[in-house]
């Protein structure tokens, strides 16, 4: 199975390395609290899992695929047929004029998938008010209802998958000994600036990276297996200096980025506690 959306920082290219560094003795329940496109989840297809994301529109899409594929598919086909810059911008403005609050979660899920595919470079980006501000992308045709969508729906329905929209720490709060948690947080920037190091509540900056590290340490104390992916930057060595962490340096291809200079092979790390 493959992800149904494009996602900045998506793990399709890193999958071989992630799979290679999975626990060799297996695990019980799977947790992925920054689910994004879910490349690793869909590669492993665990029978019991908790997936989570703070992006409510993304969560709507996951829930719609699981619970209402027929309705979702019909809405996606409508967007596909009506796809123009005007249609895209009109739908984008739904989070500005209040229309989005009157949409069902399936309608919002369809909006999310369409805009992700039709928007510039496969981005989903929001301003400080939570409004999507990605321009219309350059493409000839869209194919929104795919076999992948059906496969993901079938998997979610035959398995015990909890889908939530919470703080990541709340999403993994019931993880127990023998369970596995994969953290794929917003990455530390290659060039660290004051906007990263200064504390802000609504940004995943240095304080949040430290909180994530502490969460991983706490889980490990209780016998939970933890894997974390992040950028290969000098700060990683300091953040994960505790000997419980093993840092593996890898390379991954990145093709989705608004800055062309940041595409191509880049250094990343996979951090494990087992």
Domain co-membership, 108 together with 239: no
Decide if 151 is inside a domain.
no
Tell me: the pLDDT tens digits for 217-247? 999 999 999 999 999 999 999 999 999 999 9
Decide if 1 is inside a domain.
no
Euclidean distance between CA atoms 261 and 134, whole angstroms: 19
Domain co-membership, 42 together with 84: no
Q: What is the CATH number of the domain that holds 236?
A: 3.40.50.150
Domain co-membership, 262 together with 129: no
Q: What is the CATH number of the domain that holds 141?
A: 1.10.1020.10
Residue 8: predicted pLDDT: 77
Decide if 207 is inside a domain.
yes
Domain co-membership, 34 together with 128: no
Residues in the chain with pLDDT values less than 70: 194, 199-200, 254-265
- β-bridge mates for residue 250, sequence order: 268
Decide if 155 is inside a domain.
no
Domain co-membership, 28 together with 114: no
* Residues 75, 112 contacting (CB under 8 angstroms): no
Decide if 26 is inside a domain.
yes
Domain co-membership, 50 together with 174: yes
Decide if 160 is inside a domain.
no
Residue 6: predicted pLDDT: 83
Q: What is the pTM of this model?
A: 0.92
* Domain stop point among 80, 112, 145: 145
Domain co-membership, 117 together with 202: no
Q: Which domain holds residue 97?
A: 61-145
Domain co-membership, 140 together with 65: yes
Domain co-membership, 44 together with 171: yes
Residue 123: predicted pLDDT: 87
Domain co-membership, 265 together with 176: yes
Domain count, the chain: 2
Decide if 43 is inside a domain.
yes
Nearest to 209 by CA among 238, 175, 181, 245: 238
Domain co-membership, 172 together with 223: yes
Tell me: the pLDDT tens digits for 173-187? 999 999 999 999 999
Decide if 159 is inside a domain.
no
* Domain stop point among 145, 175, 192: 145
* Residues 120, 57 contacting (CB under 8 angstroms): no
Domain co-membership, 50 together with 68: no
């Amino acid at each position: 199975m493959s992800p149904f959306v494009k996602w900045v920082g998506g793990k399709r290219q890193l999958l071989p390395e992630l799979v290679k560094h999975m626990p060799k003795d297996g695990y019980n329940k799977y947790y992925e609290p920054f689910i994004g496109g879910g490349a690793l989840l869909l590669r492993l297809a665990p029978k019991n899992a908790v997936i989570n994301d703070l992006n409510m529109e993304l969560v709507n899409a996951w829930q719609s695929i699981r619970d209402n594929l027929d309705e979702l598919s019909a809405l996606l086909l409508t967007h596909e047929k009506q796809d123009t810059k005007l249609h895209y911008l009109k739908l984008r403005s739904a989070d500005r004029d209040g229309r989005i609050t009157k949409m069902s979660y399936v309608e919002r899920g369809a909006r999310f998938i369409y805009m992700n595919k039709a928007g510039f470079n496969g981005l989903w980006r929001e301003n400080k008010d939570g409004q999507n501000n990605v321009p219309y992308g350059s493409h000839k045709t869209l194919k929104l209802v795919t076999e992948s969508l059906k496969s993901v729906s079938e998997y979610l329905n035959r398995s015990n998958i909890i889908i939530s929209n919470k703080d990541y720490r709340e999403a993994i709060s019931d993880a127990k000994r023998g369970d596995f948690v994969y953290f794929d947080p917003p990455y530390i920037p290659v060039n660290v600036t004051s906007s990263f190091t200064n504390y802000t509540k609504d940004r995943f900056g240095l304080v949040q990276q430290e909180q994530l590290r502490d969460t991983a340490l706490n889980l490990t104390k209780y016998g939970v297996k933890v894997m974390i992916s992040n950028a290969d930057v000098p700060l990683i060595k300091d953040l994960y200096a505790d000997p419980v962490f093993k840092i593996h340096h890898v390379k991954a291809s990145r093709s989705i980025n608004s800055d062309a200079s940041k595409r191509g092979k880049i250094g990343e790390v996979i951090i494990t506690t087992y």
